[in-house]
Chains A and B, each alone.
Chain A
Amino acid sequence: MLAVDSLSLTNRLNGITAQFRAGEVTAICGPNGAGKSTLLACLAGLLNADAGQVMLDGSALAALPAQQRARAIGYLPQSPEVAWDVSVETLVSLGRLPWKDAPAPDAQAAIDAAIAAMDLDAFRHRRVSRLSGGERARALMARVLATAPAWLLADEPLANLDLAHAAALVARLRQQADEGKGVVLVLHDLATAMNHADRVLVLNRGELAADGPPEQALSEAVIARVWDVEARWLGDEGARALATGSHALSGN
């Protein structure tokens, strides 16, 4: 289990307490500047809090050796870059860096599994510059999977993806959660969080504004309070869409 206990960071996070469970997709939502990425970076062990701490399976994350932390928690930053025009396979193999002492066959097996999980077999030898946006996003996610971490943390992994690619990536992340990994995503699109997350944390100005199943945490009341937007959920559970503006208000 990954947990944060009264986590505070000056001007960015204020006393956040929450638990993240393995086998679940947890979405972190909130308006711009709410502290979503900051919280995710803390969960990944990249930022040290001023107060409070992050616990991984009962021990303080900050006290873990970097290598051990890197094996347990995979992190995909927002708008990830790839500095050199490497092949997909080389890119994915970078995910094995925390396991530098592991035997080579294990490494290759993990790389193959990650490439298969993101459906990239046909692109294995293609250079990153020749991938489409969707293929690139999958390759970057495969890099995280190649580490075989217990936790997958991704900061807006669906940004810049069109509808089909976003849906495909969400389905693959869901599969990872079903296989027992803990998946934590910062999501901008509330409908994606509503339809695909098991649990949603809503942050507002560095504070936890709501925490629970999506129907609760992203209720119209919460959206009105946190985003200051009148909105209505349309459709049925699992396939909801968010309507805002005069249509939502008039009830049509």
Chain B
Amino acid sequence: MRPIPLLLIALAIAAPLSLLAGRVWIDPFAPETQTATLILMELRLPRAFLALIVGAGLGGAGAAMQGYLRNPLADPGLFGIAPGAALGAVLSMWTGYAVAAYALPMFALIGGAGAMALLALIAGRTGGIALFTLAGLMIASLAGALMSLAISLAPTPFAMSEIVTWLMGSLVDRSWREVWIAAPLTLAGLAFLIAAGRSLDALTLGEAAARSLGVDPRRLQFLLIAGVGLTVGAGVAVAGIISFVGLIVPHLMRQLTDRRPSSLIVPSALAGALLLLVADVVCRLLPLPGGELRLGIALSLIGAPFFLHLLLKMRKGLA
């Protein structure tokens, strides 16, 4: 549990600093102006909160998923919940309902919940991990296909570009509304994941040994569907698809813990929050013609080479 205090300190420093950075720099020592207050309260503060919430959800969900699948390469996207939520959001844009307040995140949450229900229905009876994972992959690919279909049949070029841009994941122009949607769901989801911790620890020894230690596989599956569903579903609903956080963060944090899945969930949530916060500031600051770098793209740009580097290091260790 050593990394937790360090991460909390880092967050306590990074979060206030992140509020100052952006296209308009805010001088904390200058006399207060109305514009600065407006930027801070209505733009930067909700955006920082969202980065923290979404990052925490993705990091925590990634740690739990890796523990559940006993694989350091597992990612929350595997269960099909993120694609399900994205499909919901895409449908709201495709149908035009997205112009209404709350419509897009609500459609996304319904899509995520639909994927969760489908997962539970297909795989929930046996508690077996292989079947569960395959069901998740099928849901993910079905949702992906339906999204592509929606894009290819988009009613207007504007709707098409709106969908494609949204899918790239971003925190631009978000408000307190999104914070109020994502925060309670993500916190509830993290609570489910933390509750699954002991059972995930037992799974370190394999399914049979875990059951012999009293783990109820169906209860574990329920906790995981609820936990990953709420955190990832809420994240997609307010920020679109942001990949790599759930994969990289637990991977990095694992070395700092005793490597039990239960001791990885909270540090991964904190580190995910930190990573997204910093990445979002970088996106704001990079001078790009035609607007900001999308957060989802930025994370993939940082994430993929970084992960390759890790893999090369691992290969060296094995050789």
> Which of B70, B205, B206, B213 interacts with A98 by CB under 8 Å?
B213
Residues of A contacting B208 in the complex (Cβ-Cβ under 8 angstroms): 41, 46, 75, 77
How far apart are the CA atoms of A85 and B208 in the complex, in Å?
Answer: 19
Q: Is A73 an interface residue (CB 8 A)?
A: yes
The CA of A143 and the CA of B259, in the complex, are separated in Å by 16
Partner of A85, one of B198, B211, B216, B259: B259
User: Would you call A109 an interface residue if the criterion is a C-beta within 8 Å of the partner chain's C-beta atoms?
Assistant: no
Contacts of B71 in A (CB 8 A): 83
B72 to chain A: closest residue by CB:
A84
Assess the A83–B198 pair: CB atoms within 8 A: no
| Stretch of A62-70, A186-194, A218-226 contacting B (4+ beta carbons < 8 Å) | A62-70
Complex CA gap A22/B208 in Å reads 23
Would you call B214 and A94 a contact (CB within 8 A)? Answer: no
Query: Which of A69, A70, A86 touches B204 (beta carbons < 8 Å)?
Result: A86
B35 interface contact, C-beta 8 A? no
Residues B260-275 near A (CB distance < 8 A)? 260-261
The tally of residues in B whose CB lies under 8 Å from a CB in A reads 22
Flag whether A80 is at the interface (Cβ < 8 A). Answer: yes
Q: Is B212 an interface residue (CB 8 A)?
A: yes
Measured between beta carbons, the chain B residues less than 8 angstroms from A87 are 258
Contacts of B213 in A (CB 8 A): 70, 94-95, 97-98, 147
B225 close to A (CB within 8 Å): no
Cα distance, A81 to B70, chains bound together (Å): 10
Q: A44 interface residue, CB < 8 Å from B?
A: yes
Nearest A residue to B203, CB-CB = A83
Provide 8 A-B residue pairs closer than 8 Å at the C-beta atoms, listed in order of the A residue.
A66-B215, A67-B214, A83-B206, A84-B204, A84-B260, A94-B205, A97-B214, A98-B213
Residues of chain B whose beta carbon lies under 8 Å from any beta carbon of chain A: 70-71, 198, 201-206, 208-209, 211-216, 254, 258-261
16 additional contacts (CB under 8 A) given A81-B70, A84-B204, A94-B213: A41-B208, A66-B211, A67-B214, A81-B206, A82-B204, A82-B205, A83-B205, A83-B206, A84-B260, A85-B259, A86-B258, A90-B259, A91-B204, A94-B201, A140-B205, A143-B205
